[in-house]
Chains A and B, each alone.
Chain A
């Protein structure tokens, strides 16, 4: 157990729908990062939050949004889902806002049908 908790582990939904993925960082970590990993692809950075504020944005679609709450958990919202959104979504956390390595959760596997 890495200490980073992601729920749900698996999610199957239809095209056009909206889903919310949840991440609880390791105790004491202030930064949360979201990554997308498509089949046999590398990790694509989506967005970073630090202590409730957006810090960096990667290749995140306009249909996707995220937020970090006062208790530091984060949610990634995916809307108007398309088949191509099927992927593993990972959350990672670190104690600081700089990218000096972080701890990943076990991911949410999203399947859009």
Chain B
């Protein structure tokens, strides 16, 4: 079946560097995407979302890019801080149905 997945299970970056976390999806009908951050012992926390009629959306230090042609989603974190260390999940839904999550990427920020 169609699913959401991640290219890299782990990512280690130096504090202050930019981080890029990638996600591939296979359902071309997906029209809504979210990035969640999950810190150890906590529930997933909403970071940023994007609809399929956009290819870029910016938040505070985060940017989500959507490439519908290759069904690819990425999360960019600027000036990564130790507090950004967490597992990041992408999720997608189609017409508001069936929110599906990827396996997650663990981001480790080295001081």
Contacts and interface: CB of A to CB of B under 8 A. Distances in A.
Interface of A: 2, 4, 33, 41-43, 45, 56, 90, 92, 96-107
B103 to A, nearest CB: 4
Contacts of A105: 43
A100 B93 contact: yes
Contacts, number: 54
A102 B34 CA distance: 10
Contacts of B25: none
27 contacts: A2-B43, A2-B45, A4-B43, A33-B99, A42-B101, A42-B102, A42-B103, A42-B104, A43-B89, A45-B98, A45-B101, A56-B97, A92-B43, A98-B95, A98-B97, A99-B32, A99-B97, A99-B98, A99-B99, A100-B96, A101-B32, A101-B34, A101-B46, A102-B99, A104-B44, A105-B43, A107-B42
Contacts of A45: 98-101
A99 B89 contact: no
Nearest to B9: A40
Given A96-B96, A100-B96, A103-B46, 8 more contacts: A42-B101, A90-B44, A98-B97, A99-B93, A99-B96, A99-B97, A99-B98, A100-B49
B104 A106 contact: no
Interface residues on B, range: 20 to 34
B10 to A, nearest CB: 11
